Amino acid sequence: MTNRMRASVHRFTMKDPSDVSQLARAIESGLINPACIIAFIGKTEGNGLVNDFTRGYLVQSLVLLLAPLRAQSADDVLGSVAFVFSGGTEGVLSPHYSVFCVEPSHSSGPASQVISARNTTGNGDTTPRKRLAIGRALTRVPLPEEIGTRAQAMLVADAVALAMTEAGLESLDDVHFVQVKGGCVTTEAAREATARGVRLASSDPNRSMTLSRVAGAFGVMQALGEITADAWDESFFLQRADLWSSRASVSSGIEVGMNEVVVFGNSDRWDSDFVIAHHTMEDAVDIGAVYACLESLDMHCRGDNHAACLQQIACALVKCEPDARGQVRGQRHTMWQDGDLNAQRHIRGAVGGLVASVLGDTRIFVSGGAEHQGPPGGGLLALIARTR
């Protein structure tokens, strides 16, 4: 990246997965230039499992809106914009989506000259700060036999590197959140692969979704230098709980084919009015991690979810996982034993409620399935805040 860029973040709610009216009005008013949209991340009100078609429904609705406005075909929109949607708005979570835009900046010169940088509390601190930088990359569509394997992980690793380059993020330390969305093996794809005589990591769609997330996590770890290419193989998948990324959030579903990657970081080469921070959640009740993330953004509001500074949060991104050991801080949980409600739905509702109670806002992207994404039973939190 040679020219200075500017990122913006917009968050919209919806009455159902077909409702893109708020985005349409924002485009009509001139708030958003549809040509500048590079990614969506959001929550739909489905079950979050293999048969959750609400994710694809929202993708279709957005593509139908954007294609004529961008003078592109539907396929061209799908090939240039990342659509990352997680099903399941259990508990207090609200169906919503965030829109990420990137456009050339009208400023020139170093960030310390073109930005009157202030911390998020607006207390007059004029220390120059790095600003939100976003890059995205889309891989080729992996073959069914590549899903959930090292081959998929390498595709993701290469895409993360490309997205970092697009964002101009030269230091790995400047990367705060990597969102990946990958596909899974459907029953139809499994039949086709069997007919070709190839071996699949799994022919079960549910298991395939899990392994797709795992492969994506290892790809992110490799790209971010959290693990080296020669230090792991597929035998580590779901077996080495000690290996996890502190910045990866990986989802999977039937509505996507390629691996979609969006990298978020901070850079002094961007002129955004936003900044991102992240923090590891040690377990499902780690409320301290939420406050720590806020405080890294200079937002001090412990115990007050009506604090004015919380209005500056533009996007909240969470990854979580029911602890496979069946305990939370030494006490038994039953999420994995509930025959009526999938364990991932339990954890989304629980962690979503915890984070919402701190932020005073229920528009939170909470995704389950955090295999190798954060410590066992824990996860990852990232917050994007307006700087003024």
Enumerate the active-site residues.
181, 251
Structure tokens at 1: 């990246």
Strand 131-138 and strand 260-267: pairing? antiparallel
Shortest CA distance to 102 belongs to which of 272, 263, 265, 268?
Answer: 272
Tokens of 120: 């998020």
Q: What span, in angstroms and rounded, lies between the C-alpha atoms of 218 and 221? A: 5
> Is-contact 271 258, C-beta < 8 A?
no
- Residues 6+ positions from 294 with CB-CB distance below 8 Å: 300, 301, 358, 383
- 16-48 per-residue burial string, b: 16 or more CB within 10 A, e: under 16: ebeebebbbeebeeeebebebbbbbbbbbbbbb
How far is Cα 276 from Cα 226, in angstroms, rounded to an integer? 20
